[in-house]
């Protein structure tokens, strides 16, 4: 027997995970996403960091298009923490009744508005620690705000990213945090600014949950998903940004 025995009760270090993709393959995948969408943007409508924060909180278990329909009227009367807090939970609820879990979300929006006024001088903080301390704000929501409002290199793992991380074997994990950690490690830093938007949109319109549309995939030749149906990539051309109504129709097809 060779090597030193491991003392009882001492855990072995977990082996470092190795991506099945070569660095050149990852580079090419995100180069193609960048050609498709040079300036990708989230589809939640907002006018400032505060309305973005509220929209993301409301988007849990709801479609972006559904949230947009509700927030257009809400943000027209309350686009700052002060105005939202003055509106109050009951009035907020009237605007968002069409969104799932609207009662709990109305309460959280009212409370987070009050917290911003009380603890942050009415400004949305630019750190994850401060954001996740707000009512109704989790790590994913914080990462979206940090990335979209403050330009930080964060990875917001929603259902699409979690699915793609595992299906494509980019970053397999049992939790969103595991997928996030691996994605941040494998994606080249110069693509991290837009990476989560590219992956969300790819998962929403191409690599769909029920049936991936592999013939429409620009990375079909590089993809290592077990269920892919073609190795021929779709033509690599910039795609037109859809308005919220078109986006909802396309995502449901």
Q: Among 201, 204, 237, 242, which Cα is nearest to 218's?
A: 237
| Annotation marks residue 107 as catalytic | no
223 is in an annotated binding site: yes
DSSP-H helix ranges across 211-253 = 244-252
Question: Which tokens belong to 58?
Answer: 């409301």
Q: Is the dihedral of CA 205, 210, 216, 222 positive or negative?
A: positive
4 is in an annotated binding site: no
Residue 217, marked binder: yes
Residue with tokens 């009050």: 114
Among this protein's residues, is 83 annotated catalytic? no
Q: Of 64, 105, 158, 182, which is the active-site residue?
A: 158
Residues 6 or more apart from 8 whose CB is under 8 A from it?
A: none
Alpha-carbon torsion (208, 139, 152, 42), positive or negative: positive
CA distance linking residue 44 with residue 149, whole number of Å: 12
Single out the residue of 150, 141, 118, 156 nearest to residue 54, CA to CA: 141
User: Catalytic: which of 4, 105, 107, 140?
Assistant: 140
83 annotated to a ligand binding site? no
In the annotated binding site for [4Fe-4S] cluster, the residues are 207, 214, 217, 223
Q: Active-site residues: which are they?
A: 140, 158
In the annotated binding site, the residues are: 207, 214, 217, 223
């Amino acid at each position: 027997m060779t090597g030193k025995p491991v003392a009882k009760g001492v855990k072995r270090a977990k082996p470092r995970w190795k991506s099945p993709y070569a660095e050149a393959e990852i580079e090419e995948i995100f180069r193609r996403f960048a050609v498709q969408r040079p300036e990708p943007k989230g589809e939640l409508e907002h006018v400032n960091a505060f309305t973005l924060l509220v929209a993301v909180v409301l988007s849990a278990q709801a479609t972006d298009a559904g949230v947009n329909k509700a927030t257009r009227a809400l943000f027209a009367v309350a686009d700052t923490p002060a105005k939202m807090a003055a509106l109050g939970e009951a009035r907020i609820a009237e605007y968002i009744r069409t969104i799932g879990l609207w009662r709990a979300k109305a309460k959280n929006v009212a409370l987070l508005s009050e917290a911003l006024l009380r603890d942050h001088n009415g400004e949305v903080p630019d750190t994850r620690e401060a954001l996740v301390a707000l009512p109704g704000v989790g790590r994913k929501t914080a990462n979206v705000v940090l990335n979209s409002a403050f330009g930080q290199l964060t990875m917001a793992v929603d259902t699409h990213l979690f699915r793609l991380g595992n299906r494509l074997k980019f970053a397999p994990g049992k939790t969103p945090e595991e997928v996030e950690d691996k994605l941040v490690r494998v994606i080249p830093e110069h693509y991290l600014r837009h990476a989560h938007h590219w992956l969300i949109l790819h998962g929403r319109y191409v690599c769909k949950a029920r049936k991936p549309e592999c013939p429409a995939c620009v990375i079909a030749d590089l993809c290592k998903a077990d269920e892919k149906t073609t190795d021929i990539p779709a033509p690599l051309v910039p795609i037109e940004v859809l308005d919220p109504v078109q986006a909802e129709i396309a995502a449901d097809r």
